Structure 1
């Protein structure tokens, strides 16, 4: 499998899981079919649009390749109709979000490296790609974005971007580095949820 086909596959799988995550969050807020579809599509495509803007790819691929919005829209519609038979919404949403976080971390970082972005910048773009859609999802569903809370979220993505850039430097085959980074991010996110790991917060009472 070539690197281009690998990235396309990861992109589409990431779009499916992030669209499902966004749609599940919208269903939990009791939005109608249109609202669920909009939230699912924006969640799935938001991070990729930010990535393409950052690497100066215009127009963003989400607007030029019909497979991206159609895949996101169909996934969101399926979640709307089948959620009651398939999920316990919160647990499923968190699992899907963790999977999307891992996949989009890989896609964003690899795309940035391929565009000639230096390693530190590629890490930043990879993380933005991974967390961008989730931030928009949380804002649209009136939640504080997960990335701003104590949970290990952006840190897990950042760890994945570092794995990708190090593997790229040592010319590790893209398939293995991508799978390893995605699994690392997914695992870190789920373990942090199960064990209540969190980033440090300020000590003592808040002051104005």
Structure 2
């Protein structure tokens, strides 16, 4: 049962992030190859870096279905991206969903691999954010992780919630759901209400 839940989260995260990458390609009016590259890199980029850092086999090399799904989803978006009236808002909200899915899925994979609680949380953040970084860089945009928006902080909150609850013996299905909910709620609130982290302001040094 638990393996099914974890695998489902992983698949959903890959698909949702692939859609965000393909939608970003649509805003740049790329060709089909651009859609495939941007969608695939976004969908599997974070998980690839996570597995490399953990010294694990990269998940999609053993299951090429992930790669094929990214290509199929990118192709579907190529023909349907005109449907959403506001593609940028679609990217933001889909990205929030993918962020939450990957934050807990990444932390879970690291935890299952025997990583410490701290490393598991960091791997959750890496999995959730790195695909978006690739998408923004390839799309010629400033990475959202470097903006004032609450982004990596939301992934951190979700991953930490999952790891903390799991460490205290809470059933993992419950911990996954709680971590997902916390990350999505924080990110959604930042989009809805314009929440942002404090910025550094230059100050005059004292004598």
Instruction: Identify whether the pair has TM-score above 0.5, normalized to the shorter chain.
Output: yes
How far apart are the structure 2 equivalents of 1:194 and 1:145? 19
How far apart are the structure 2 equivalents of 1:52 and 1:125? 9
Task: Quote the RMSD (CA, aligned, Å).
Answer: 1.4
| Residue aligning to 1:69 | 67
1:52 counterpart = 2:78: no
Where does structure 1 differ by over 4 angstroms across 4 or more consecutive aligned residues?
none
Contact 1:12 1:71 in 2 (8 A): no
User: What is the deviation of 1:23?
Assistant: 0.4
Q: TM-score, normalised by structure 1?
A: 0.94
How far apart are the structure 1 equivalents of 2:32 and 2:150? 31
| Residue aligning to 2:20 | 21
| Residue aligning to 1:168 | 166
User: What is the deviation of 1:42?
Assistant: 0.4
How far apart are the structure 2 equivalents of 1:56 and 1:166? 23
User: What is the deviation of 1:86?
Assistant: 3.7
Cα-to-partner distance string for 1:46-72 (whole Å, 9 max, x where unaligned): 0000111122112x0112202211111
Q: TM-score, normalised by structure 2?
A: 0.94
How far apart are the structure 2 equivalents of 1:107 and 1:37? 23
Contact 2:84 2:90 in 1 (8 A): no
Aligned residues between the structures: 204
How far apart are the structure 1 equivalents of 2:83 and 2:62? 34
Contact 2:163 2:175 in 1 (8 A): no
Structure 2 stretches lacking a partner, 5+ long: none
How far apart are the structure 2 equivalents of 1:81 and 1:66? 24
| Residue aligning to 1:103 | 101
